[in-house]
């Protein structure tokens, strides 16, 4: 359900618990190097020539052990040392390169000599096996300050690293193979969410007879003229995520369009939103709401004057100021929206995704779900949760679908951090389950696939 993701500090803590540490470091290094060699031999069975590029630290030591095992297996192995850095390095003509330059302790930007070697490896356009983390990637954050290895595969010891799961580091990691080197697991501040979390989502009729209201009642607020599709997608997604009752509050002039699209949802003019609040067990604010002063004031009032769980997305995030709210609240920005919330630009957010999410949590004191290549769910308490995404979700309307899903899960009484994480997980699973070829996927396809994704977690 939640698989640990290690920072460099947590990895060091696990190593220090190993009996006899640090005298037993060579023993750990032997296992790590053998694990790298085993993965390379299994996954790149046609390789005959391997170049191992090694730094001076333990990561380089792992690489040297791997080189020995590869030689014993009959491969032609060339060792290339980073030092001295002012020398020209000859990589030979390898079929595969093993990257053992920098390990999990690396921070910042590689020095010029290391950067040149990294670029030389990347320029070869051949398969690269990274040892524990691609060199140049911060293992604790996924940040990339300069040159970084573009790995085909990363052999990660004990568990995946945070930097391999969070972009931009995840773009450099390739696929990951985890090798057990005998370390005891430690508590981690980050975890990767698997589809097993969906088994924790309350479903209708599991424990007792329910009415449409007790099964989860969601009020979606949005749908200004020209943006009615957003509120329709959110409402449909809430129903497909197993809510029993969904109402939509939208401007009166939008209601005829919404009536024609939505059959099951109750429709109310925006002026009657406070009457609709009484039947709701969660709010979904923002899909197609608009960004005028009246809309911003309505969002502030709904957050301030109700004690309902709320998911706040899209236009409801525009101009949002910190609020004092005890009820469960989830903000779901993309990088541009989050940048506005914390006074940063989108490029900075994309380069520092974990820091940006934590900054927003500190400012708003609620759960923050940052959309992107992967989804980050951060909260004032508990692990920060990472959910692998799908490129197919990069299409209009999928954010509105996610809002409806999270609204449904909040209405069922799920704790907000887990509701957000489960919402993001089933959102991605529904995209993956739609069809093998994900090109051309649209938001309504994701809505249609939600029941199947919930009933049969991948």
pLDDT tens sequence across 301-338: 999 999 999 999 999 999 999 999 999 999 999 999 99
Mean pLDDT of 345-361: 98
The mean of the pLDDT values for the chain is: 95
pLDDT over 70, % of the chain: 98
Look up the pTM and report it: 0.95
Q: CA–CA distance from 444 to each of 120, 239, 250, 395, 429 (Å)?
A: 45, 13, 20, 11, 14
CA distances from 100 to 117, 118, 149, 155 (A): 12, 11, 10, 11
So what's the pLDDT on residue 437?
Answer: 66
Residue intervals of the chain classified under CATH 3.40.1190.20 are: 195-455
Query: Was domain 195-455 assigned CATH 3.20.20.210?
Result: no
According to DSSP, the residues that pair with 246 across neighbouring strands are: 218
Q: Where in the chain is the domain with CATH 3.40.50.10260?
A: 2-188
Angle (deg, nearest 10), helices 58-72 and 25-43: 50
pLDDT (0 to 100) of residue 20: 96
Q: Which two tokens stand for residue 204?
A: 């209708």
Q: What is the DSSP letter of 436?
A: S
- Residue 214's pLDDT is 83
As a CATH number, domain 2-188 is: 3.40.50.10260
For residue 208, pLDDT over 90 is answered with: no
Distance (Å, whole) CA 82 – CA 54: 6
Cβ-contact 92, 122 below 8 angstroms: no
Q: Is the pLDDT of residue 453 over 70?
A: yes
């Amino acid at each position: 359900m939640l698989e640990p993701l290690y920072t460099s500090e947590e990895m060091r803590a696990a190593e220090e618990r190993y009996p006899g540490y640090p005298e037993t470091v060579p023993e750990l290094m032997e296992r790590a190097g053998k694990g790298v060699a085993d993965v390379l031999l299994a996954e790149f069975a046609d390789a005959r020539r391997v170049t191992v590029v090694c730094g001076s630290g333990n990561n380089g030591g792992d690489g040297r052990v791997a080189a020995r095992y590869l030689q014993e297996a009959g491969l032609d192995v060339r060792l290339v040392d980073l030092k001295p850095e002012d020398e020209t390095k000859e990589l030979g003509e390898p079929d595969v390169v093993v990257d053992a330059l920098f390990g999990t302790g690396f921070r910042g930007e590689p020095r010029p000599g290391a950067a040149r070697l990294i670029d030389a490896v990347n320029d070869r356009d051949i398969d690269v096996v990274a040892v524990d983390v691609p060199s140049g990637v911060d293992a604790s954050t996924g940040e990339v300050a300069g040159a970084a290895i573009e790995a085909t595969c990363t052999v990660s010891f004990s568990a995946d690293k945070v930097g391999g799961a969070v972009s931009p580091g995840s773009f450099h990691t390739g696929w990951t193979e985890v090798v057990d080197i005998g370390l005891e697991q430690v508590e981690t501040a980050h975890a990767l969410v698997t589809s097993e979390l969906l088994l924790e989502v309350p479903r209708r009729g599991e424990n007792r007879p329910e009415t449409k209201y007790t099964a989860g009642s969601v009020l979606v607020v949005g749908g200004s003229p020209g943006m009615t599709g957003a509120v329709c997608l959110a409402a449909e997604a809430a129903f497909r995520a197993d809510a029993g009752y969904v109402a939509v509050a939208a401007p009166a002039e939008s209601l005829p369009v919404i009536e024609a699209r939505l059959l099951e949802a109750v429709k109310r003019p925006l002026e009657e939103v406070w009457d609709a609040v009484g039947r709701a067990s969660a709010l979904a604010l923002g899909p197609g709401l608009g960004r005028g002063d009246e809309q911003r004031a309505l969002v502030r009032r709904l957050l301030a004057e109700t004690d309902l769980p709320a998911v706040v997305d899209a236009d409801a995030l525009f101009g949002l100021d910190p609020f004092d709210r005890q009820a469960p609240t989830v903000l779901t920005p993309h990088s541009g929206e989050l940048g506005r919330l914390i006074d940063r630009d989108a490029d900075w957010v994309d380069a520092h995704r974990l820091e940006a999410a934590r900054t927003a949590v500190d400012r708003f004191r609620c759960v923050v779900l940052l959309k992107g290549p992967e989804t980050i769910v951060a909260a004032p308490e508990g692990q920060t949760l990472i959910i692998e995404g799908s490129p197919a979700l990069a299409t209009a309307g999928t954010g509105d679908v996610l809002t409806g899903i999270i609204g449904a899960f909040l209405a069922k009484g799920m704790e907000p951090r887990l509701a957000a994480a489960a919402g993001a997980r089933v959102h991605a699973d529904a995209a993956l389950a739609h069809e093998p070829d994900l090109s051309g996927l649209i938001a309504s396809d994701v809505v249609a696939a939600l029941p199947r994704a919930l009933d049969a977690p991948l």
